[in-house]
């Protein structure tokens, strides 16, 4: 079956070749890069490096979504991300995704040249987000999260996590379509680590093929996440990059079409190896 992602009226065919989304955190408290890219110039430099390593998309964010992270005011988030988006847009045609939960930030980012809205609330957090999504033709990442980044890891519970995520995807596709958003604009994301225990994350990874509701492509974001640290029984962030690459290959084999990662080059290689075997 063809796997198409419609972004700004352009069909991106993910059937044979998946996409790697490189993470550009413009935050002082990002859990895995310690805010190294808060300065605009360094963030842009990092973004261009990720492109040179093969990133198909840059996911630029100015508010951390790690468990317990402090919310950021829209003005501050805009101050962080807009100069980076503008500078990257002026240098390259590579797709840019805005990682935000705020409609005002998403709208300004799209006006500044972003192509995709990656809202971890699945467009349910900010009441104005749905309208923003309707009024532009950006691609959309619809992620599953139980709770909010502040509350999500407080005793996550599901009867059947796979079934609940599937049901959520079905409901979101239905209500977004009713609002006038075509399914082709949407990529689905099970939201690894967002209100899930290690067991929930493993169940979701095993069941990736079942999560592609209505044939929509699946995005997987496990890069440097604590589930890897838990499985390795290691506190060291540096220990999480190679296992991330292993999970990228595994997820691609199970049908994921987009991976969101910090370390782009080895994950691009992992995607291409998995695709060579998939044929
Ligand atoms: C912003 N962000 C952090 N983790 C993420 C994940 O797993 N998926 C998506 N779409 N965004 C994420």
Q: Ligand 1: residues whose CB is within 6 Å?
A: 61, 65, 99, 118, 120, 141, 143, 189, 191-192, 219, 221, 260
Strand partners, 95: 57
Q: What SS3 state is found at 252?
A: helix
Active-site annotation, residues:
225, 260
Cα–chain center distance at 118: 6
Go through 127-148 and write b for each residue having 16 or more CB atoms within 10 A of its CB, e for each that does not.
eebbebbeebbbbbbbbbbbeb
- Average pLDDT over the chain reads 94
Instruction: Return the ligand 1 atom nearest residue 59 CA.
Output: 1
Distance in Å, CA 221 to ligand 1 centroid:
6
Instruction: Return the ligand 1 atom nearest residue 66 CA.
Output: 3
Q: Is the distance from CB of 115 to CB of 96 less than 8 angstroms?
A: yes
Distance in Å, CA 141 to ligand 1 centroid:
9
224 closest CA partner among 215, 216, 232:
232
Ligand 1, atom 7, lies closest to the CA of: 221
| Cα dihedral 224/206/188/104 (nearest 10) | -30
Distance in Å, CA 88 to ligand 1 centroid:
21
Residues 258 and 212: their CA atoms lie apart, in Å, by: 12
Residues 253 and 258: their CA atoms lie apart, in Å, by: 12
Distance in Å, CA 275 to ligand 1 centroid:
23
Instruction: Return the ligand 1 atom nearest residue 221 CA.
Output: 7
Instruction: Give the model's pLDDT for residue 36.
Output: 52
CB atoms within 10 A of CB 150: 12
Instruction: Give the model's pLDDT for residue 159.
Output: 94
The residues, any chain, with a CB within 8 Å of residue 254's CB and separated by 6 or more, are 205, 208, 209
pTM of structure: 0.95
Residues of the chain with pLDDT under 50: 31-32
- Structural domains in the chain, CATH included, are 18-278 (3.20.20.20)
Residues 173 and 239: their CA atoms lie apart, in Å, by: 37
DSSP string, 139-208: EEEEE--SS-TTTTTSS---SSHHHHHHHHHHHHHHHHHHTT--GGGEEEE--TTSS--HHHHHHHHHTH
């Amino acid at each position: 079956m063809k796997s198409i992602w419609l972004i700004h009226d352009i069909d991106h065919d993910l059937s044979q070749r998946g996409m790697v989304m490189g993470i550009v955190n413009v935050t002082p408290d990002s859990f895995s890069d310690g805010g190294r890219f808060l300065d605009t110039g360094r963030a842009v430099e990092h973004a261009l490096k990720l492109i040179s390593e093969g990133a198909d998309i840059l996911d630029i964010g100015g508010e951390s979504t790690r468990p317990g992270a402090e919310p950021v005011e829209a003005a501050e988030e805009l101050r962080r991300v807009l100069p980076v988006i503008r500078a990257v847009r002026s240098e390259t045609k590579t797709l840019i995704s805005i990682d935000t939960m705020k409609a005002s930030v998403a709208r300004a980012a799209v006006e500044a040249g972003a192509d995709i809205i990656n809202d971890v609330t699945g467009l349910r957090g900010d009441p104005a987000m749905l309208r923003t999504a309707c009024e532009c033709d950006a691609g959309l990442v619809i992620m599953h999260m139980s709770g909010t980044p502040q509350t999500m890891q407080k005793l996550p519970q599901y009867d059947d996590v796979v079934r609940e995520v599937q049901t959520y995807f079905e409901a979101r596709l239905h209500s977004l379509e009713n609002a006038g958003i075509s399914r082709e604009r949407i990529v689905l994301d099970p939201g690894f680590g967002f209100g899930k225990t290690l067991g929930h994350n493993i169940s979701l990874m095993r069941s990736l093929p079942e999560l592609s509701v209505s044939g929509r492509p699946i995005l997987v974001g496990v890069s440097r996440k604590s589930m890897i640290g838990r499985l390795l029984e290691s506190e060291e962030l540096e220990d999480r990059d190679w296992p991330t690459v292993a999970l990228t290959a595994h997820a691609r084999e199970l049908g994921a079409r987009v991976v969101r990662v910090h370390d782009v080059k080895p994950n691009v290689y992992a995607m291409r190896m998995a695709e060579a075997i998939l044929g």
